[in-house]
Amino acid sequence: MKKLSTLLATVLTGLPILLGQPVLAHVIWFESQTSNYELLFGHPELNEREPLIFSKFEGATAYDSNKNTIPTTIDFVNENLFVTPQSSASALTAFYDNGYWIENVDGTFSNLTQEEAAAINYVNTTNFVKYTKYLAAWSDDISESFGLPLEIMPLGNPLGLKSGDELPIQVLLNGNILANPTVEYLGETLSIDANGVAIIPIGAGGLQVIEASYQNLATINPGISYATTLSVQPTSVPEPSFILGLGVLGFSFLVGKKEKS
């Protein structure tokens, strides 16, 4: 009882170590490495990465083109988490539970253990859960939902898109199309049409990490804040200097042929 009274007093006075609103925007996403995939936590649109807490990691799954699961190895090294499929993966998913956070009187958030949150009956408390989907290949099976509680669905092949292309997407909550998710791309919030579709504009760097979120705070105790991402295997684009080098080499080859003919 003394611990509960102390915790309530702390919440009401806003005295604990505080974290600001950006806790809402944290996401997880995969980036491909030479022989594996790294799961990252932070803000991809700002290229900001924060330490990943292994105890909050709930699992990752790799799939082949038929959406059969592939055995994987998980390595956690110096707050970096790597997923290594034992064979070529067409897709990966992951789940990260960022825990319980209470909103203080000044609008900031503080982290609570599940026991602390339950002790105050989850008042003003939200569970922040993070999901991600990464696509390295495309097939009919891969185009279907992976069953994530919150999932971004590309309405077309998202791989190999070029500058000037557009990718329509929808967001599913437990398999149903959401009419009002928040969809962000490169730091901008995108509009959603009457069919729940958002249009992702593709720039010179190809398709970047798409973020979506949804909060169900009114009917669940505690409230749940979902965040999810979609990213794809980047298209290999030669550096300008490499392209120039090829041009010079080709020109020299043609000159050589002309001199020999």
Count of alpha carbons within 13 Å of 57, Cβ hemisphere only? 23
What integer pLDDT is reported at residue 32 of this predicted model?
A: 96
What integer pLDDT is reported at residue 216 of this predicted model?
A: 79
Judge whether 32 and 57 are in contact, CB under 8 Å.
no
What integer pLDDT is reported at residue 221 of this predicted model?
A: 77
What integer pLDDT is reported at residue 236 of this predicted model?
A: 57
Q: How large is the greatest C-alpha to C-alpha distance in the chain, in angstroms? A: 96
CA distances from 57 to 87, 108, 129, 137, 175 (A): 22, 24, 10, 25, 23
pTM of the model: 0.81
**Residues paired with 57 in a beta bridge:** 96
What integer pLDDT is reported at residue 218 of this predicted model?
A: 63
What integer pLDDT is reported at residue 220 of this predicted model?
A: 66
What integer pLDDT is reported at residue 103 of this predicted model?
A: 86
Strand, helix or coil for residue 12: helix
Q: How do the pLDDT tens digits run along the chain, 261 residues long? A: 334 444 444 443 333 333 333 344 799 999 999 999 999 999 999 999 999 999 999 999 999 999 999 999 999 998 899 999 999 999 999 999 999 999 888 988 899 999 999 999 988 889 999 999 999 999 999 999 999 999 999 999 999 999 999 999 999 999 999 999 999 999 999 999 999 999 999 999 999 999 999 997 666 678 899 999 999 999 754 444 444 444 443 433 333 433 333
Burial class of residue 250, CB neighbours in 10 A (0-12, 13-18, 19+): exposed
Please choose, from the candidates 234, 164, 233, the residue with its C-alpha nearest in 3D space to the C-alpha of residue 199: 164
Residue 162 token pair: 């070029």
